[in-house]
Structure 1
């Protein structure tokens, strides 16, 4: 009897393989899904069931692909938005034996209308649930977002409250297995650990401390979440069924000449922010490889051609994996060699870094034509902001840049300088010439205030 957690880096997506007596079920598989087949075979198991706790918004489901590989059927909750073409519908009360184990279905709408939780029972040890796969209804330290139905926001928040009571009723002993961990865009208050129980969440999860249904609804309605444009693509593919992941997860290598001739819609420099700011190819934006899952879907559209610039071939492979998992995988090639290119006389662009003293001097002098542009999210800015700064969330710059004056001067800031470099890189790629980055950003500003 096994239960294995498979974590997808960057997206903080958690999927699971559970098996007993030669049978196995997979819960919420990702697009590059060979790992589940390999893991099952290594444990002498055949995958007989594939469950989706809901239609994912932040990654492409691997369920239809895994069904082709394994011959297992896909099971999905009642879908109010449209039928999931590759799945059979499972409903409240359905039971599925997996050897000695049994999975019982609970309809838990709220995050999405089709959401289900899957309680896990061991037939040899009483009636209490051993664990529960909570999808995006309940996380460690948080609960699911409810902003995907803006015209029905109070209704879905109330549905989530009711669904959480169903999960709590499974008993304090049940271990929770959520579909995401800390760092996911599906929740902002998740704990760093990925293990908990229903009982621990009952007593410690801030959202579960709200016992009044109306108060819970008010709290959820007041939350602010961002929805990257690629969410719509994920929703569509997870109704229709996405294509299998590319067999080779590494872009074809490009020479410098090949890079200029490849016809890419986006030249994406995936090196670290300091490396990019120090020197990058003209027209390149910056999406550090670890930030691709969070921000690529804001700046890159479906089917657009991507050329990558990296420090190493391993970095190119990591970037390709991230892009494949969100179906932005039209990667025409990858280039390694920015420093040799500079040494050969290739034109380079750079974005200066400035410190707190320079920012304060500009603010006090009210520098004409200069803007301190804060690209943090709205919740961060609501806690503390620098007086005189302007706010545009980094992802929303994908469209909001058109409202800025390209002849103006801009200093980009965030919490540390990482997202500020992504924002500056986007503006640089759009032809903005007078840019710099506040190194340390809000962290440095706060430190200076305490001196």
Structure 2
């Protein structure tokens, strides 16, 4: 018997392949299912069941796709906000045997109303559960967010408290298998590791240490989480079952002339190279969104209906970017441009750049008419920010850009310069001419011992 973790970069998503005696169950699969099929083939296992621990908001579930591919049954918890068309509803106490393992469902609502956790028992040893798949109810170092029902904020926070008590009671000695790791938008305080036990979390997880229900509720409703607009699309797709995305490859290569024509026709040009490459030279009117930032910000800055052309170093990078886009529902990604900006310039085509400045230049420019735009999360901004800066979270830039006069002289900043570059590129592509990137951003500012302000 074994449990194999499948990690999805960018989304910090964790899914699991659980196998014993040539039988297997997959928990919380992602949209691209090859990893599960390969594991089944490698270990000569038949995938008989697929379990979703909750309604996914941040990625497309692969459950209906995998179920169709291997003829498996999908199981989903009760009290879903809408019918899960491809799944069978299971409730508290439902049991499933997989070889020498026994899985038991417990209802753990709070993050979503349909959240369940799965206890794992070794049938050869009558010693209680050895593991628990906690979905987005309990993470390593944190617990699930409870802000998806704004009108019921206290109620769902209370549900989560009760669910955590149930996990403590039923699985105190169990290994935890959560659905997300550090970097996920589903929690702020997750540890950067994938191993823990319920007992360890009870002693070290700040939220698990709160034993007063009222205090826990107040702590949860005071949290600040961002909810990208694409979450609503994910919820709908994951209720009806999203279609398979067969290739995950941007197979059509275009040249610079075709690229410009496509832009004029309304295609969105997204450069997924590292920011250093983009800052050096880039295709005019293109946006910057480095590969590892796609799943974090594409759903904020762009629409699922956009026809996207990827600008990348090569086809391999473009294909990887297309996969990241597809995991969050961007399916209109069919073309790429393998860029060599030196050759673009050598053939007489225009290229664009962004001005990059350091802390000393920023300090001088702020004495004139330049405005500092801080695009970090509000929690980062409140901890420490430059006194004269204006805060607009990067994810909100698309909606708030109309409030920024195009005549403004803007310096974008974040923690290091990556998000600042994405913001500056977005502004430049939208027609803003006076934009500079504060490279090093808050890190560089603090290194110079320049003053900061805290909201605490």
TM-score interval, normalised by the smaller of the two chains: over 0.9
State the match for 1:303 in structure 2: 305
String of CA shifts for 1:330-386, please: whole Å, max 9, x gaps: 0130001232112222111111111111111122x2x23x21000000000110010
CA RMSD of aligned residues (A): 1.3
CA distance in 2, matches of 1:240, 1:258: 37
Q: In the alignment, is residue 357 of structure 1 matched against residue 360 of structure 2? A: yes
Q: In the alignment, is residue 129 of structure 1 matched against residue 129 of structure 2? A: yes
- How much has 1:264 moved relative to structure 2? 4.7
CA distance in 2, matches of 1:21, 1:269: 47
Q: How does 1:65-214 map to 2 (within 5 A)?
A: 65-214=65-214
Are the equivalent residues in 2 in contact too, given 1:34–1:66 (CA < 8 A)?
A: no
- How much has 1:60 moved relative to structure 2? 0.1
- How much has 1:51 moved relative to structure 2? 0.2
CA distance in 1, matches of 2:304, 2:250: 19
Are the equivalent residues in 2 in contact too, given 1:23–1:47 (CA < 8 A)?
A: yes
Are the equivalent residues in 1 in contact too, given 2:55–2:80 (CA < 8 A)?
A: no
Are the equivalent residues in 1 in contact too, given 2:132–2:171 (CA < 8 A)?
A: no
- How much has 1:193 moved relative to structure 2? 0.6
CA distance in 2, matches of 1:379, 1:280: 32
- How much has 1:450 moved relative to structure 2? 7.2
Q: In the alignment, is residue 331 of structure 1 matched against residue 333 of structure 2? A: yes
CA distance in 2, matches of 1:237, 1:74: 16
SS at match of 1:50: strand
SS at match of 1:209: coil
- How much has 1:23 moved relative to structure 2? 1.1
Are the equivalent residues in 2 in contact too, given 1:60–1:238 (CA < 8 A)?
A: yes
Are the equivalent residues in 2 in contact too, given 1:101–1:122 (CA < 8 A)?
A: yes
String of CA shifts for 1:49-92, please: whole Å, max 9, x gaps: 10000010000000000010111110000134111011010101
State TM-score, norm by structure 2: 0.96
Are the equivalent residues in 2 in contact too, given 1:264–1:332 (CA < 8 A)?
A: no
- How much has 1:248 moved relative to structure 2? 4.7
Cα pair distance change 1:238/1:293, threshold 3 Å: same
SS at match of 1:223: coil
SS at match of 1:208: coil
Q: In the alignment, is residue 256 of structure 1 matched against residue 259 of structure 2? A: no
CA distance in 1, matches of 2:316, 2:186: 28
Aligned residues: 448
SS at match of 1:342: helix
String of CA shifts for 1:283-330, please: whole Å, max 9, x gaps: 101000110010111112122100011112221111011011111120
Q: How does 1:324-403 map to 2 (within 5 A)?
A: 324-339=326-341, 340-363=343-366, 365=367, 367-368=368-369, 370-403=370-403
CA distance in 2, matches of 1:26, 1:50: 5
Q: Which runs of 5+ in 1 are unaligned?
A: none
Q: Which has the larger displacement, 244-253 or 220-229? A: 244-253
The one of 285, 289, 301 equivalent to 1:283 is 285
SS at match of 1:68: helix
Q: In the alignment, is residue 427 of structure 1 matched against residue 427 of structure 2? A: yes
CA distance in 1, matches of 2:235, 2:216: 27
String of CA shifts for 1:194-230, please: whole Å, max 9, x gaps: 1111111111111111111111111110000111111
Q: How does 1:211-250 map to 2 (within 5 A)?
A: 211-250=211-250
CA distance in 2, matches of 1:110, 1:223: 14
Are the equivalent residues in 1 in contact too, given 2:248–2:322 (CA < 8 A)?
A: no
- How much has 1:139 moved relative to structure 2? 0.5
Are the equivalent residues in 1 in contact too, given 2:281–2:351 (CA < 8 A)?
A: yes
SS at match of 1:436: strand
State the match for 2:454 in structure 1: none
String of CA shifts for 1:158-181, please: whole Å, max 9, x gaps: 100100111111343200000000
